[in-house]
Amino acid sequence: MTESLQPQEPMRRLHSLTSLRFFAAAAVALMHGFGRYQLPVVDLGFVGVSFFFMLSGFVLTWAYTAGKGSVVFLRDRFAKLFPLSAVTLAVAAFVPVAPNSSPVFFLQSLTFTQAWWLPAALSFNPVAWSLSAEAFFYLLLPAIVSVMRRFSTRQLVGSIVFLAVLQPVMGLVLQLTIGVNVSASVAHFLTYYFPPYRLPEFIIGIALALLLKAGYIPSRACQLAAAATITAGVALVFVADFFHMALSWVGSALLLPAILVLIWTSARRELAGASRLLTNPRLVKLGDRSFSFYMVHYLVLGFVGLLIGEGAQTLPWWIVLPTLIAAAGIAAVAYRFVEKPSERLIRDLFSRKPALPPAGEDAKEASSSPVRTG
């Protein structure tokens, strides 16, 4: 298939992908909770952020309607992110779980710009840095989709391969230049937190959604190449993780093909009616609350740490799971009373139109008015 793509109508919601969001959020939370213990597999939770970025590009493109307009799209994204972000930021101002929290950093966090500057990236609620990247992606999505929907399926596949190679190449160049000649911490910032560096993951998600909308089916050779790449990448990551080697951007790059295939396969199976576990209503409900859980879990870990004289990532192992369960409960409350009501309120406020008289009312009024003759 090589036809150009012209997606206009929104597609149905894919519940399996919503469920997967819960597992990604849980992976990040477990990594933070057990960070001091360097547990194999658990300390790979940072890959959950790459999953979020790619999934975000996929889901937003899957549901995107070109005729709806970029202003409405950005309004909906603001309504989704800002209320809970503002509330957790306010909590973080009173529960100091992160260092370097100044008024300037507060404003940067409030405006989703903290990840553009190293000192501010992890201030206040450290996990909120990813929202800075998401906000950047949202601004670009309408333009990117407008261009890429004109691509043939072959061009979309080529774009995915190119971007999957481009990101680790950029990482290697930055590490060999900035990391060697300037600072390892600056290089880490540029290859993990800096929004433009994470953009390829988001665009890959966009391309995947457009391919699925087009009904693309990978060739046998493509499937074998993907399987070989995933096997090699996963093997390298797990060997490195077993020996406690620093992974960061390398791990994300090596596991990118696996994330891609997981999203693609889950979506395809659900569309074919073959996905039962991931469409379980309980898992979907957890997935719906994953954003709230992601935003509150570090604050809860940090608060418990303050109570016992520890840091958010240095809690005794036996406290971590009960703390994360408590965070899940708080997230459910935040979802019900902050995230969803605020999202609806903002959408309603910015979508109201002035009331118009019923059809024909103006004509009736005109016909019943006296005609002036002089």
Ranges 65-74, 227-236, 303-312, most confident: 303-312
pLDDT of residue 246: 61
Does 358 have pLDDT greater than 60? no
Q: Where are the domains of the chain?
A: 15-351
With cut-offs at 50, 70 and 90, classify the pLDDT of residue 243.
Answer: low
CB distance 230 to 261 below 8 Å: yes
Does 1 have pLDDT greater than 50? no
Q: What percentage of the chain reaches a pLDDT higher than 90?
A: 66
Read off the amino acid at residue 140: L
Q: Which residue has the higher pLDDT, 180 or 3?
A: 180
Q: What percentage of the chain reaches a pLDDT higher than 70?
A: 88
Could you report the per-residue pLDDT of 306-321, keeping only the tens digit for each? Answer: 999 998 899 999 999 9
With cut-offs at 50, 70 and 90, classify the pLDDT of residue 7.
Answer: very low
Alpha helix stretches (DSSP H) within the chain = 15-33, 47-63, 70-94, 103-110, 129-148, 153-174, 180-181, 184-190, 195-213, 220-242, 249-271, 281-288, 290-308, 317-334, 340-349, 361-368
pLDDT of residue 137: 98
With cut-offs at 50, 70 and 90, classify the pLDDT of residue 359.
Answer: low
Does 269 have pLDDT greater than 90? yes
Q: Which residues contact 70 (CB under 8 A, 6 or more apart)?
A: 142
Ranges 100-104, 168-172, 218-222, most confident: 168-172
Does 110 have pLDDT greater than 50? yes
pTM: predicted TM-score of the whole model, two decimal places:
0.89
Q: Which residue has the higher pLDDT, 226 or 77?
A: 77
Helix axis angle, 317-334 to 15-33, nearest 10°: 140
Does 102 have pLDDT greater than 70? yes
CB distance 166 to 200 below 8 Å: yes
Could you report the per-residue pLDDT of 159-218, keeping only the tens digit for each? Answer: 999 999 999 899 989 988 998 888 989 999 999 999 999 999 999 999 999 999 999 988
Which of the residue ranges 3-17, 22-36, 102-116, 269-283 would you say has the lowest mean pLDDT?
3-17
With cut-offs at 50, 70 and 90, classify the pLDDT of residue 83.
Answer: very high
CB distance 150 to 5 below 8 Å: yes
Q: b vs e for 25-56, b when ≥16 Cβ sit within 10 Å of the residue's Cβ?
A: bbbbbbbbbbbeeeeeeebbbbbbbbbbbbbb
Residue 176 CB-density burial (10 A; 0-12 exposed, 13-18 middle, 19+ buried): exposed
Does 109 have pLDDT greater than 90? yes
- Name the one residue in this structure whose structure tokens are 């004509």: 363
Cα–Cα distance list, 5 to 62, 201, 267 (Å): 13, 21, 19
